[in-house]
Structure 1
Amino acid sequence: MNNHMKGQLKIIKYDSDNLFETIDIAAMEYPITIYVDDEEFATIVCSPTNLQELVIGFLASEGMIRHPGQILSIDIDENRGFAYVHLKIKQSTNKEFFSKRMIGSCCGKSRQFYFYNDANTAKTILTNHLMSIHDCFKLMNQLQEDSIDFQQTGGVHNAALCTNDNILFSYSDIGRHNALDKLYGHILQNKFSVKDKVIIFSGRISSEVVLKISKIGVGILISKSAPTTLGIELANDLGITVIGFVRKQKLNIYSHPERIIEAENLSCTEMKE
Structure 2
Amino acid sequence: MTAPLLVQPDPSDPRLTRRVTGLDHTGQAVETSVTVEAPLTLYLNGQEIVTMMTIGDRPADLAIGYLLNQGMLAPGDTVTAVDYDEDLAVVVVRTAQKTDFEQKLRKRTQTSGCAQGTAFGDLMEGFADVRLAPDAVLRTSWLYGMLRAINTLPTLYLEAGAIHGCALCRQDAPLVYMEDVGRHNAVDKIAGWMFTTKTSPEDKIFYTTGRLTSEMVIKAVRMRIPILISRSGFTAWAVDLAREANLTLVGRCKGKRFVALAGESRIVFDTDPDAVPPEDARHWRRNSRDAEAAS
TM over 0.5: yes
Deviation at 1:138, TM superposition (A): 2.2
Q: What SS does the corresponding residue of 1:192 show, helix, strand or coil?
A: coil
In terms of mean alpha carbon deviation, does 70-79 or 251-260 score higher?
70-79
- The equivalent residue for 1:119 is 125
Q: What is the aligned counterpart of 1:90 among 80, 87, 98?
A: 98
In terms of mean alpha carbon deviation, does 51-60 or 18-27 score higher?
18-27
2:200 corresponds to 1:193? yes
Flag the 1:104–1:75 CA change in 2: closer, same or farther, 3 A: farther
2:230 corresponds to 1:219? no
Query: Any idea what the Cα deviations from partners look like across 1:156-180, whole Å, max 9, x if unmatched?
Result: 1111111112111111111100101
2:29 corresponds to 1:21? yes
Flag the 1:199–1:110 CA change in 2: closer, same or farther, 3 A: same
Answer yes or no: is the 8 Å Cα contact 2:108–2:118 preserved in 1: no
Deviation at 1:199, TM superposition (A): 0.9
2:173 corresponds to 1:166? yes
For 2:180 and 2:88, the matched residues in 1 are separated by 19
Q: What is the aligned counterpart of 1:234 among 215, 232, 241?
A: 241
Query: Any idea what the Cα deviations from partners look like across 1:29-80, whole Å, max 9, x if unmatched?
Result: 1111111122211111111101100001111111111248522322111222
Query: Any idea what the Cα deviations from partners look like across 1:104-126, whole Å, max 9, x if unmatched?
Result: 971525648xx447413672313
For 1:26 and 1:55, the matched residues in 2 are separated by 24
2:215 corresponds to 1:208? yes
Answer yes or no: is the 8 Å Cα contact 2:80–2:95 preserved in 1: yes
Aligned residue identity for 1:158: G
Answer yes or no: is the 8 Å Cα contact 1:37–1:87 preserved in 2: yes
Q: How do 1:173-192 and structure 2 match up within 5 A? A: 173-192=180-199
- The equivalent residue for 1:12 is 23
2:146 corresponds to 1:139? yes
In terms of mean alpha carbon deviation, does 91-100 or 215-224 score higher?
91-100
Q: What SS does the corresponding residue of 2:28 show, helix, strand or coil?
A: strand
Query: Any idea what the Cα deviations from partners look like across 1:237-258, whole Å, max 9, x if unmatched?
Result: 1110000011131110010100
For 2:117 and 2:164, the matched residues in 1 are separated by 18
Aligned residue identity for 1:125: L
For 1:104 and 1:257, the matched residues in 2 are separated by 25
Q: How do 1:46-85 and structure 2 match up within 5 A? A: 46-67=54-75, 70-85=78-93
For 2:162 and 2:77, the matched residues in 1 are separated by 34
Flag the 1:242–1:107 CA change in 2: closer, same or farther, 3 A: farther
Q: How do 1:138-157 and structure 2 match up within 5 A? A: 138-157=145-164
Flag the 1:71–1:210 CA change in 2: closer, same or farther, 3 A: same
Deviation at 1:186, TM superposition (A): 0.7
For 1:83 and 1:124, the matched residues in 2 are separated by 32
Segments of 5+ residues of structure 1 without an aligned counterpart are 264-273
How does the TM-score come out when normalised to structure 1? Answer: 0.86
CA RMSD of aligned residues (A): 2.4
How does the TM-score come out when normalised to structure 2? Answer: 0.80
Answer yes or no: is the 8 Å Cα contact 1:244–1:253 preserved in 2: yes
Answer yes or no: is the 8 Å Cα contact 1:44–1:103 preserved in 2: no
Deviation at 1:89, TM superposition (A): 1.6
Aligned pairs, number = 258
For 2:32 and 2:113, the matched residues in 1 are separated by 21
Deviation at 1:19, TM superposition (A): 2.0
Query: Any idea what the Cα deviations from partners look like across 1:141-160, whole Å, max 9, x if unmatched?
Result: 32222142111112111111
- The equivalent residue for 1:268 is none
